[in-house]
A and B are shown apart, each in its own frame.
Chain A
Amino acid sequence: MASVLEGLGYQVDFPENQTCCGQPAFNSGYRDEARAVARHFIRTFAGYERIVVPSGSCTSMIVHHFAELFRKEPETLERVHALEKRVWEFSTFLTEVAGVEDVGAHLDEVVTFHDGCHALRDLAIHDAPRKLLSRVRGLELREMQPNDECCGFGGTFSVKFAELSGAMARTKLDAILQTGATTVVSLDPSCLMQIQGALSRAGKAVRTMHLAEVLASR
């Protein structure tokens, strides 16, 4: 992601104090713990003009749920609202802030795209990654059917309800394999881990790549 952004002329920093957005704790009902981690995030990223996130679920946590966590702290809430405006999911940043679709990438692959649920529904991201993929030389994009179903990760859901999560993953695999694609691309590392884990267990040669990896390919 950094090389793609730098290739477009941006000055990119990686604040080393960063750890997590706190979503695992929030989703598991531990709001105090989530709040502590969120506070750390807000501190770490204060003072940056733009914050680009290679994950739909993390972006959604920051722009939709931080406000819920701090609903009783007006001062922090103000900082949260200011933060929300500066946080961008990676593909949206490229198409809406940088205003580009062609980043000069080249990848000879038949690819299918998995829409992570947070990106698709919470952030209404659908076209941006597809536009970017359409401009990658050598790449053929095939849509899976259906293309709007959850991969089954869901954070701690994947281990609390392992059998169910696995069944959902296998349904996703069916859709992927039907396309004949050899690579699955997504915006979300957690979805990719779930899908790749299931592919590997099923002994399939299909691999996964994050959109940023695709766009950095030359």
Chain B
Amino acid sequence: MSVEFDQKAHETLADANLQLAIYTSTGRLKRGRVASVASDVLPDYQELRTQANAIKKHAIDNLDYYLEEFERNVTARGGKVVYCKDATAVADFVLGLAKERGAGLIVKSKSMTTEEVDLNERLEHHGLESVETDLGEYILQLNHEKPYHIVLPALHKTRYDVAEIFTRRLNAPHETVIEKQTALACGVLRDKFLKADIGISGANFLVADSGAIVIIENEGNARLTTTAPRVHIVLAGIEKVIPRARDLATFLKLLARSATGQFLSAYTSFLSGARRPGEIDGPDEFYVVLLDNGRTRLLPDREKRQTLYCIRCGACLNACPVYRKIGGYSFPGVYSGPIGAILTPQFLGVTHEPALPFASSLCGACAEVCPVKIDIPKVLLELRSEVQKAETRDNRNRLERLSFRAFAWLMTHPRLYEMAGRIAAWMAPAGEGKWISSAPPWMNLPPVRAWLSQRDLPPPPAKSFREQWRQRR
């Protein structure tokens, strides 16, 4: 297990305020979800999940077909589709276009994919101003931090943190009333929207039969980002494509409910290109950047391919007892929670953070709430197996491997297994049925020490089950 991972997890566990913030925020979202999909509120919830899973499976299994259909339909209406293999390619494209258009100011709406490619950093490095317009993301941008949660990026910030950030970065008077903080930020950002040359958005869905993208939001910043500037660039992973506009009747009923418990978010935008002749406002140019960045590396594996079904609702984060304790910053990479635990190792390789697939009790709460029925525990188990194979190959973690070989050997030799049980019982500290709080030095192996750091060990029974069984006979 990596030191960095343990350290970050430990810091979060030790921070009582943060524990409370994470637990109550995710608890609220969790309860919202449960209420909005209850059987008397959404009777066909399970059928919708099955349908959503089937549509995603089909789309991913035939990804090239749907990407080409999408591309054809975007192009037919005068838009442009650009394929980018990684972060550098995306930055090159955006910078190139910005230069051609003489653009200096960019506004962007919330997009985890843009985080993946460090878009803001790259653009700023080249002298462009790229402003986050989602309130939570804006606060984090001012403070140079990354998002804490897929849906609630600033979950870990209090109003006092925000007041301090606004005072320091915006020279604003100290203000702790949340409505006023919101108004302040929105005032600054409105000015940016109306002056920006380029608007960059993500996309929740790419609709193949329409050449359209769908954006789901609550604030209105994505609508403004994709309406006011003359140029609209969409950045989306290739896996976001769905076959038909009519499939949205399925996905839209699941996404907002799974994310926050809303039936629909405040704004659901279906955008199919630059403004048409006669339309009064809207962008003049429409680009869709389709990003690979490791997604094609996932595709060959039939068992783990389902990782790409994700529609980024965040329900798994809110359901996960591990995320709710160690929070978003304990996870390496852009994505946290259960989806992060399966995406990041597949994007970056299992050896990047070998602890990640093991940081789960496999409770299955994530799989239960996933609107597209990704079997996250199954993928975690597959990744664990891959980690061990990699560690064997690199000749690491030998002690553990030897222990499990010994385990297998013992478990296939029943007489020795029984004898080992007797020896352990005999050697364990005496103390008539009392649970064990500390171990004598010769017993204090790492697993025992780890267990005892948090809870007591059971005393060995007076008689083993086998002994009792034989006596009955």
Contact = CB atoms under 8 A, between A and B. Distances in A.
The answer to whether A and B come from one shared complex is: yes
Contacts of A149: 321, 363, 365
Interface string B374-385: 000000010011
B267 interface: no
Interface residues on A, range: 35 or more
Contact of B455 (A26, A40, A156, A166): A166
Contacts of A164: 9, 13, 322, 325-326, 359
Contact of B408 (A25, A118, A150, A169): A25
Given A28-B384, A121-B367, A160-B1, A169 B454 contact: yes
Contacts of A159: 446-447, 450-451
A98 interface: no
A200 B367 contact: no
B407 A25 contact: yes
B458 interface: yes
Given A29-B386, A161-B359, A166 B454 contact: yes
A107 B387 CA distance: 47
Contacts of B450: 158-160, 162
B93 interface: no
Nearest to B447: A159
A52 interface: no
A153 interface: yes
Contacts of A2: 469, 472
B401 A30 contact: yes
B388 interface: yes
B interface secondary structure, majority = helix
Contacts, number: 167
A interface secondary structure, majority = helix
A117 B401 CA distance: 27
B404 A33 contact: yes
B358 interface: yes
A167 B359 CA distance: 14
Interface residues on B, range: 35 or more
Contacts of A198: 454-455
A168 B326 CA distance: 11
B256 to A, nearest CB: 23
A122 B378 CA distance: 11
B311 to A, nearest CB: 21
Contacts of A217: none
27 contacts: A16-B466, A19-B417, A22-B411, A26-B381, A27-B362, A27-B381, A29-B381, A37-B412, A150-B363, A152-B361, A154-B361, A155-B361, A157-B358, A157-B362, A159-B450, A159-B451, A160-B358, A160-B450, A161-B358, A162-B450, A164-B13, A164-B322, A168-B325, A168-B361, A194-B455, A197-B454, A200-B435
Interface of B: 1, 9-10, 13, 321-322, 325-326, 355, 357-365, 367-368, 381, 384-389, 400-401, 404-405, 407-408, 410-412, 414, 417-418, 435, 437, 446-447, 450-451, 453-458, 465-466, 469, 472
Interface of A: 2, 14, 16-20, 22, 24-34, 36-37, 39-40, 65, 117-118, 121-122, 148-150, 152-169, 171, 193-194, 196-198, 200-201
